[in-house]
């Protein structure tokens, strides 16, 4: 049975994990940084191999956003190391981030990663965690469908923009069909504030207002759309 799935807005569960780069305490060892923990069903499998190649290829882009990566599956450390060696030798790219070994499934249980699709392999999950150790986004993919790493980059950039400018972001930001690369102004809390909104911002109505954001923020995110 799966464990209780952590929720968006909660602190990432405290745990000590064994990885290919030594023991790591989560989320404490990443305090002050964004980090992404992502699980995969198994080492030495085709879809997972394409995902690790894609994550490794974009590692510098994650680093530019101040993001650390950490993988996870129920395989052993030995298996992780051999698989990473195979990826480097055969595909020409080094896996630069740690991979959690969880052969007993205790970490997977704690994070709720053993779903109905398989009781013995972790689903493709993504936890995006902010510098305060708070879970900001969770994604799940089935075993047969690989993830879109560019969307994960866009999500991190979007969350950082949300925090920095106090806005929400529209669908397909920064290429939204209605407001382009602008930010959505948070809802009015009083009648007076609602009446003032159209005077301060561009609005479809008082409850749907938007404002300009620095061009460089959108230009960076546009690479991943």
Residues marked active site are found at 48
CB atoms inside a 10 Å sphere around CB 32: 8
Query: What H or E segment, with its residue span, contains residue 69?
Result: strand 67-73
Q: What is the DSSP string of 134-172?
A: BEEEEEEE-TTS---HHHHHHHHHHHHHHHHHT-B--TT
Give whole-number Cα distances, 216 to 63, 120, 156, 157, in Å. 18, 44, 15, 12
Task: Label residue 180 left, alpha or beta by phi (over 0 means left) and psi (-120 to 50 means alpha).
Answer: left
Pairing of strands 99-101, 15-19: antiparallel
Specify the residue for token string 């052993």.
Answer: 76
Specify the residue for token string 């301060």.
Answer: 200
- Which residue, among 51, 140, 158, 46, has the nearest Cα to 95 in the 3D structure? 51
- Do 159 and 137 meet the contact criterion of CB atoms below 8 Å apart? yes
């Amino acid at each position: 049975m799966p464990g209780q799935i952590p929720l968006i807005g909660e602190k990432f569960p405290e745990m000590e994990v064994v990885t290919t780069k030594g023991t790591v305490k989560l989320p404490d060892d990443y305090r002050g940084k964004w980090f992404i923990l992502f699980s995969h069903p198994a080492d030495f499998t085709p879809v997972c191999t394409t995902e690790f190649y894609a994550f490794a290829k974009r590692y510098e882009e994650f680093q530019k956003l101040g993001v650390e990566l950490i993988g996870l599956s129920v395989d052993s450390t030995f298996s992780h190391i051999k698989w990473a060696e195979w990826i480097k030798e055969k595909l020409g790219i080094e896996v630069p981030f740690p991979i959690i070994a969880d052969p007993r499934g205790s970490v997977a249980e704690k994070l709720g990663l053993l779903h109905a699709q398989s009781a013995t392999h972790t689903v493709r999950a993504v936890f995006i965690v902010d510098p305060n150790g708070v879970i900001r986004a969770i994604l799940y993919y089935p075993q047969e469908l690989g993830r879109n790493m560019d969307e994960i980059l866009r999500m991190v950039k979007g969350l950082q923009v949300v925090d920095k400018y106090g806005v929400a972001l529209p669908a397909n930001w920064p290429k939204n069909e209605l407001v382009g690369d602008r930010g959505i102004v948070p809802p009015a809390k009083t009648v007076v504030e609602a009446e003032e909104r159209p005077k301060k911002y561009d609005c479809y109505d008082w409850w749907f207002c938007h404002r300009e954001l620095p061009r460089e923020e959108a230009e960076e995110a546009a690479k991943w759309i």
